[in-house]
Amino acid sequence: MTRPVRPHAVRGLVDADREVTLLLDIIAATSSGPGLEPMAAAVARMITAATASDVCFVHVLDDTDRSLTLAGATPPFDEQVGRIRIPLGSGVSGWVAAHREPVVIVADKEADPRYLPIAALRGSDFTSMASVPMETEPGGLVGVLNVHTISRRDFTERDLELLLVIGRLIAGALHQARLHRQQSARERAHENFAEQVIAAQESERRRLAGDIHDGISQRLVGLTYRLDAAARAVDAADHTSAAVQLEKARDLVDLTLAEARSAISGLRPPVLDDLGLAGGLASLAASIPEVDLSLDLDDRRLPEHIEVALYRISQESIQNVVKHSRALVASVRFAVRDGVATLEVADNGVGFETGFATDFATRTTATDGGGYGMLSMAERAELVGGTLTVRSRPGDGTTVTVTVPIDQ
């Protein structure tokens, strides 16, 4: 059962005295702590109470910078916080965010081409609305602030100026809260990744120990037997038997070397030693017949640890292209310019809704499009001082970009 919203019968937003009180209250609220949603909710309640508007919505730019998320609202719409997402350019709020200009609709919202009804927000219950961007100098656009009234209201220039001032006041605090949330998410991601790395390292140690015990050590035991047999044959002047045993010993040496190389390649791809990163990426691309891969590769050599990180990120990215993207065409680009190495893997596949920070190091959960693989790539990039970003949307392919500063 939906709760009704009672209309206010005030024509102007607020008088001068209440304006000062409202601004002081908002300053106090934005100084109370870093929580984004509690802050937005408190501000929304203050605005409706002080301005005699009926509903206030605070939409905050999400971490993809491509859509707004409802972060605060007055009852009964507070239940929709976190559930409503509006792409930039869509609806009145999306238009305001994209153009960074206020919009006032006094009546007949449906006639405005920018208006897009959202059923959960019951737009048809309200007659007039004002929507203003929330901007701050260090962070640019932070979000959009909307007020709605059930009765018709002619918003004045002074009303709009007040809303813009409120928007600027809370924008800085919301921006800081957003940064705090991202930092907290990054710290949690680091903690989770550290646990996963330790588990992976232990698994790798067990694998190497098993490979050495079951393969290499057994070959070496067999080699010892063959060499002992050859020595006995030499002592007995049986040169034919000695030659046979030495030939078998040589075969065991070849097998042992092959198994040792196989075990070592799990730690550092030998192709990097032979061909460098550009050659390694070309070799990797040649092993993927499922997708038409185009290459644009700088043959410059990088420090060993950076080459390994970029090669492993490329491996994971290309595997994602093959497994998930359903792409027909992809590209791998590697360049070093102005002291920065850039690796880019792009495809024309189905894409996915990122729904997280474009910087995947801030991710804390998994999705079909990302998950541990994306987080692993981001952490590999961070371990060598770089960053990984992902651009993707449904039906528009995916681009993974890694940038790493290189010491000159």
pLDDT at 364: 37
What amino acid occupies position 177?
A
Give the pairing of strands 329-337 and 292-297.
Answer: parallel
Question: Residue 276 region, left (φ>0) first, then alpha (ψ -120 to 50), else beta?
Answer: left
pLDDT in tens, the chain (408 residues): 444 554 443 344 555 556 556 656 666 656 555 566 777 888 888 878 777 789 999 998 887 778 898 988 988 898 998 889 999 999 999 999 999 999 999 999 999 999 998 889 988 899 999 999 988 876 588 889 999 999 999 888 888 888 888 888 778 777 777 777 777 777 777 777 667 766 766 676 776 776 666 566 667 777 887 888 888 888 888 888 888 888 888 888 887 777 776 666 666 677 788 788 999 899 888 877 778 999 999 999 998 889 988 998 998 899 889 888 888 899 999 999 999 999 999 999 998 876 443 444 444 333 344 445 777 788 888 888 899 999 988 888 999 999 999 875
Cross-strand partners of 267 = none
pLDDT at 127: 93
- Answer yes or no: are the C-beta atoms of 120 and 148 closer than 8 Å: no
Report the C-alpha gap between 8 and 310 in whole angstroms.
Answer: 60
pLDDT at 90: 92
Question: Residue 122 region, left (φ>0) first, then alpha (ψ -120 to 50), else beta?
Answer: left
What pTM was estimated for this model as a whole?
0.47
From the number of C-beta atoms within 10 Å of its C-beta (0-12, 13-18, 19+), residue 408 rates as: exposed
Taking 3-state DSSP, the helix, strand and coil percentages for the chain, each rounded to the nearest 5, stand at 50, 20, 30
pLDDT at 211: 62
Of residues 226, 219, 218, 232, the one with CA closest to residue 244: 226
The superfamily CATH assigns to domain 16-182 is GAF domain (3.30.450.40)
Top-tier CATH class for 270-405: alpha beta
Beta strands across the sheet bearing 55-61: 85-87, 67-73, 55-61, 140-149, 128-136, 103-105
pLDDT at 334: 96
Cα 254 to its chain centre, rounded Å, is 46
Residue written as token pair 């950076």: 306
CA-based radius of gyration for the chain: 31
pLDDT at 31: 57
Cα 150 to its chain centre, rounded Å, is 40
Q: Where are the domains of the chain?
A: 16-182, 188-265, 270-405
Q: Cβ neighbours of residue 163 under 8 Å, at least 6 residues apart?
A: 13, 102, 130, 132, 145, 147
Structure-token pair, residue 166: 């409120």
pLDDT at 314: 92
